[in-house]
């Protein structure tokens, strides 16, 4: 997979994804990353990439032509068609489903804005979709681009070890992850649940599934599609809920 990033700070992006899974994906040639700086395509003595907004107001707006030229250069660098994604607070929320969809593409071009944003005409003419990593405003789209690159890199075949891949699968089901423990068994902060030391892999898998279902129900009920749960999962979720029902009974006295 090839990812091109249109950004005023190509080095920043390169550094963000130089380590860990994304670095490994690059070394294994599972993912290639290329930066394109609109300033390299800006004209005039000052190579301007931004200008004051029409209508007044704070901030500056990124000019059409340097961005358009950088996008054209990125497109021309490889014959494969590319999907252009603009990282912005106004975008659709990034989900694992969207990550999976992007990860199947041969090419993606990530457009990172700065200042107050990009001239709307460039967005309308060049952008295929707008994506947000959360409801907050950053200084630019680069950190959001790094998030997309990391999430997509993990899904490239061969990027993860078997253990990492299994862990990824646990979230792939749309549930939150279960709790994790390591040594020591006893600590002033508590004891590791006995089931995890039982060696009974079926019971361990059952415990992990129940904790993942329960956590999702508690923390992110919006992710839980209860009607779609299997009979076994319904049973596990009821076991988890029973924990709280008992506490509730005591409370009610």
Of the pair 110, 212, the CB lying nearest ligand 9WO is at: 110
Angle at 23 between CA 18 and CA 28, to 5 degrees: 145
Q: Is 78 in the site for ligand 9WO (CB under 6 A)?
A: no
Active-site annotation holder among 65, 78, 89, 150:
89
How many angstroms separate the CA atoms of 23 and 31, rounded?
9
DSSP percent split of the chain into helix, strand, coil, nearest 5 = 50, 15, 35
- Residue 214 interacting with ligand 9WO (CB under 6 A): no
Minimal distance, residue 128 CB to ligand 9WO, in Å: 16
- Identify whether 40 is a catalytic site residue: no
Q: Which is nearer to ligand 9WO, 67 or 237 (CB)?
A: 67
Stretch that binds ligand 9WO, among 6-14, 25-33, 71-79, 113-121 (CB under 6 A): 113-121
CA 45 centroid distance within chain: 38
Q: Which entry of 11, 43, 106, 169 is annotated as an active-site residue?
A: 169
- Residue closer to ligand 9WO (CB basis): 87 or 176: 87
Burial of 227 (0-12, 13-18, 19+ CB in 10 A): exposed
Give phi and psi for 5, each to the nearest 5.
-120, 120
> Are 50 and 115 within 8 A, CB to CB?
yes
Catalytic residue among 116, 130, 150, 177: 116
210 assigned to active site: no
Determine if 133 is a binding residue for ligand 9WO (CB under 6 A): yes
221 flagged as catalytic: no
Interface residue with ligand 9WO, options 35, 38, 66, 140 (CB under 6 A)? 140
Sorted by sequence, the CB contacts under 8 Å of residue 136 that are 6+ apart come out as 89
Handedness of CA 221, 224, 230, 236 (dihedral sign): negative
Q: How far is the CB of 95 from ligand 9WO (least distance, A)?
A: 13
Catalytic residues, by residue number, are 89, 116, 154, 169
- The residues of the shown chain that bind ligand 9WO, judged by CB under 6 A, are 58-59, 87-89, 113-114, 116-117, 132-134, 137-138, 140-141, 144
């Amino acid at each position: 997979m090839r990812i091109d990033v249109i950004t005023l700070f190509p080095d920043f992006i390169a550094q963000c994804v130089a380590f860990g899974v994304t670095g490994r994906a690059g070394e294994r040639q599972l993912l290639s990353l290329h930066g394109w700086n609109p300033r390299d395509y800006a004209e005039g003595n000052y190579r301007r990439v931004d200008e004051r907004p029409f209508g007044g107001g704070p901030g500056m707006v990124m000019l059409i032509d340097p961005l358009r030229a950088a996008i054209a250069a990125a497109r021309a660098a490889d014959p494969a068609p590319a999907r252009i994604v603009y990282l912005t607070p106004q975008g659709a929320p990034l989900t694992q489903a969207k990550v999976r969809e992007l990860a199947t593409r041969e090419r993606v071009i990530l457009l990172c804005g700065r200042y107050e944003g990009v001239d709307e005409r460039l967005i309308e003419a060049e952008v295929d979709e707008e994506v947000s990593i959360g409801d907050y405003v950053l200084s630019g789209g680069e950190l959001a681009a790094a998030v997309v690159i990391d999430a997509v890199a993990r899904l490239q075949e061969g990027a993860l070890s078997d253990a990492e891949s299994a862990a990824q699968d646990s979230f792939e089901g749309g549930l939150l992850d279960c709790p994790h423990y390591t040594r020591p068994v006893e600590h002033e902060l508590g004891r590791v649940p006995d089931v995890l030391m039982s060696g009974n892999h079926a019971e361990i898998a059952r415990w992990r599934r129940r904790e993942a279902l329960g956590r999702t129900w508690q923390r992110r009920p919006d992710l839980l599609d209860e009607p779609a749960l299997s009979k076994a999962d319904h049973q596990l979720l009821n076991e988890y809920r029973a924990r709280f029902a008992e506490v509730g009974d005591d409370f009610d006295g």
